[in-house]
Structure 1
Amino acid sequence: MKRKQSIWMLLLVVVMTAALIGCGTTQSNLENKNAANTSNKITIGFSISTLNNPFFVTLKDGAEKAAKDAGVTLNVVDAQDKTSKQISDIEDLIQKKVSVILINPTDSAAVVSAVESANKANIPVITVDRASNGGKVVAHIASDNVKGGSMAADFIMKALNNQGNIVELQGIAGTSAARDRGKGFHNVVDGKAGVKVVASQPADFDRAKGLSVMENILQGNKDIKAVFAHNDEMALGAVSALQAAARSNVLVVGFDATDDAVKAVKEGKMAATVAQKPDLIGKTAIETAIKVAKGEKVDANIPVALDLITKDNAK
């Protein structure tokens, strides 16, 4: 009897020992899994040129929604249209060791040093809406700004029947958006008989500057038929200047299709605006950043479609 009890006791000890080992293994596996999840957590830094512009606010909103839906952390910093602040912001993101940095440059040339700093830290860089003139960039996500400038010019030329004086309000000098939109515009209008660009001046993508620059241009140019502005904020500033000068018959075409601009098109205050899709650009930027963080290959240039918004289709 005692021998049987001893055998049962021995079996019980073996079973309990196996159970303890199993529990230990399960707990260890869970700990390892949790550690892996923590190590695989993606943090994306996003340096935006300015949030004092409806276009970039919508771009940010699109990025934030996409990040939330994907369960990744997004750290947005506002450069306030100051190159020095943007460089400092990017350095901070590098110090925080984010997984990927998205950059919407204030200045395509000046941002190069910050891109190179991220390169040295082995943090992938993706540019958004505006490109960098140097450094290693994994992908560039933007509308085709050259094509957009050409779309605006084609619309103006058709509306004017290839006759008349045109004003161009340029964006911030040094930005790829201003350079490319201007290039697309001039590809269409330059060299055309009967058409003349009588003024081409920067207004820095700003509504107040668009107003003041347009006022100055109107003083020296009485016979203006159309205005092409590199963004809607400048276009809306030009509209205000034209209204004050009782010149509301001048065609004004902008770029971005912000809410205010689309409203102005509906009301007949602006003739058209080239519609970028900032929310989609933001969403695409996050989706691309996640792929890059996971080591997946992405295209070097990722375009986002454009549309021309006129009174006929503004609704």
Structure 2
Amino acid sequence: MANEVQSTRVRSRRRLLTAPVLIAGAAIALSGCAAAGGGGGEDEVVVGITVSNSTNPFYVAESQTAQATAEEMGARVISQEAGEDVQVQSNQIDQLITSQVDFIVIDPVDSEGVGPAVQRAIDAGIAVIGIDSVVTNATVSVTTNNMQAGEISCTSLAEQLGGEGRIAIVDGTPISAVADRVIGCKAALENYPEIEIVAEQRGDNSRDQALPVATDILTANPDIDGVFAINDPTAAGVMLAAEQRGIDIIITSVDGASSAVDVILAGGMITATAAQDPAALARQGVEIGFGILEGEQPEQTVIELPTELIDVESAPDYTPWG
């Protein structure tokens, strides 16, 4: 049934997708609720976007790029952020279904938690494209190779420690991107048996939440040598906690944001970050959605973009985002 509904959508949208006409002044930006009144006219493509929050620069870059890309391709946009609340994001998906959007681009609060709402969209014939994380029940997900990111970040940490020492991991929210980074990190550390993970606690991917988490870790382990943080905002919170306690440690992370690269180049405690590109993830997600409307089904359900290590040697030649 879902395939039949989607086929009808494909046929009804072909005329717009092949016409070189942009819909002017069509963007609708919302926070927490969908636009009243539903989708547009018969030939109007409407794209729904929902990301985890509007405070993390990564999600902001994704949302802005997804909206800009969709508008450039002639669509009207309903853009939302979920405030790190999986129920809010699930409700947003239901509202987008009611608004009869043509496809949804989502960076999830919880990869599995949004699964039932995503399935409702699929059952309504609406393609769902996950970005950044693998989204349960989505048509396709576009992510960074997060296991590789965790692996190269923690390999750098281990090498900087000379293959021995005490480290902590500051984890994050229950999304596949974060989980894969931690898996990759631990896999890398298996090659360094003299490195001990003395603490592992979960934050919410933000600087503000990482600060008390890292403070607790450093209080309990004042002789710690290094920390793997699952993203750059978390690394910033860890660095602030260390500075407040007068402790000098080595911190590596994932993101490749300009804020972290500035610290790396300045010789600060953040010494390496595995780069990813939020704009590329969002742009490809939107392009895949338009391809589906043209009848092109993705050959893969998960598409992984490569990462690279940014450290003091590579940072001068790297162009950061944010």
TM-score by length of 2: 0.82
Task: Report which of the two structures shows the higher radius of gyration computed on alpha carbons.
Answer: 1
Task: Check if 1:225 corresponds to 2:225.
Answer: yes
Counterpart in the other structure of 1:154: 155
Match of 2:52 among 49, 52, 56: 49
How far off its partner does 1:225 sit?
1.3
Read off the aligned partner of 2:153 and give its amino acid letter: A
Percent sequence identity over aligned pairs: 27
CA distance in 2, matches of 1:112, 1:274: 28
Deviation digits for residues 113-151 of structure 1, max 9, x if unmatched? 111110221111111112223x3x221101011111001
Q: Of residues 111, 114, 118 in structure 2, which corresponds to 1:111?
A: 114
- Equivalences for 1:47-196 in 2 at 5 Å? 47-133=50-136, 135=137, 137-172=138-173, 174-190=174-190, 192-196=192-196
Q: Output the amino acid matched with 1:125.
A: V
The 5 A counterparts of 1:263-282 are 263-269=262-268, 270-282=270-282
Q: Contact 1:42–1:293 at 8 Å: present in 2 too?
A: no
The residue identity in structure 1 corresponding to 2:148 is K
1:236 aligned residue = 236
Structure 1 range deviating more: 179-188 or 265-274: 265-274
Q: Which amino acid aligns with 2:221?
A: N
Instruction: Note the 1:14-29 alignment, pairs <5 A.
Output: none
Deviation at 1:91, TM superposition (A): 0.6
Determine the structure 2 residue equivalent to 1:210. Answer: 210
Alpha-carbon distance, 1:183 to partner = 0.5
Q: What's the offset of the Cα at 1:62? A: 1.9
Residue 28 of structure 1 corresponds to none
Give the deviation of 1:313 after TM superposition: 2.3
Task: Report which stretch shifted further, 232-241 or 64-73.
Answer: 64-73
Contact in 2 for aligned 1:277/1:305 (Cα 8 Å): no
Q: Distance in 2 between matches of 1:281 and 1:105?
A: 13
Report whether the alignment pairs 1:256 with 2:255. yes
More helix by share: 1
Q: How far apart, CA to CA, are the structure 2 residues paired with 1:112 and 1:153?
A: 31
1:285 is displaced (CA, Å) by 0.9
SS in 2 for 1:271: strand
The letter of the residue matching 2:264 is V
| Equivalent-residue separation in structure 1 for 2:61 and 2:266 (angstroms) | 22
Partner of 1:309 in structure 2?
310
Shift of 1:40: 4.1
Structure 1: which 5+ runs fail to align?
1-32
Q: Comparing 292-301 with 48-57, which one deviates more in the overlay?
A: 292-301
Query: How many residues were matched structurally?
Result: 278
Shift of 1:64: 2.3
User: How far off is 1:191 after superposition?
Assistant: 6.8
Q: 1:84: Cα distance to partner?
A: 1.2
Query: Structure 2: which 5+ residue stretches go unaligned?
Result: 1-14, 20-40, 317-322
Structure 1 contact 59–279 (Cα < 8 Å) conserved: yes
- Would the aligned equivalents of 2:158 and 2:192 in 1 still touch at CA under 8 Å? no
**CA shift digits 1:64-104 (9 cap, x unpaired):** 23223222222211111111110111111000111111121
Please give the secondary structure, in 1, of the residue aligned with 2:274.
Answer: strand
Partners of 1:310 and 1:74 in 2: CA distance: 37
Q: Which range moves more in the overlay, 299-308 or 216-225? A: 299-308
Offset at residue 61 of structure 1 (A): 2.0
Do 1:42 and 1:290's aligned partners in 2 also have CA atoms closer than 8 Å? no
SS of the equivalent of 2:197 reads: strand
TM-score, structure 1 as length reference: 0.84
* Counterparts of 1:305 and 1:76, CA distance in 2: 27
1:8 corresponds in structure 2 to none
Hey, what's the Cα distance between the residues in 1 that align with 2:58 and 2:266? 20
> What SS is found at the alignment partner of 1:303?
strand
TM-superposed CA distance for 1:312, in Å, is 2.0
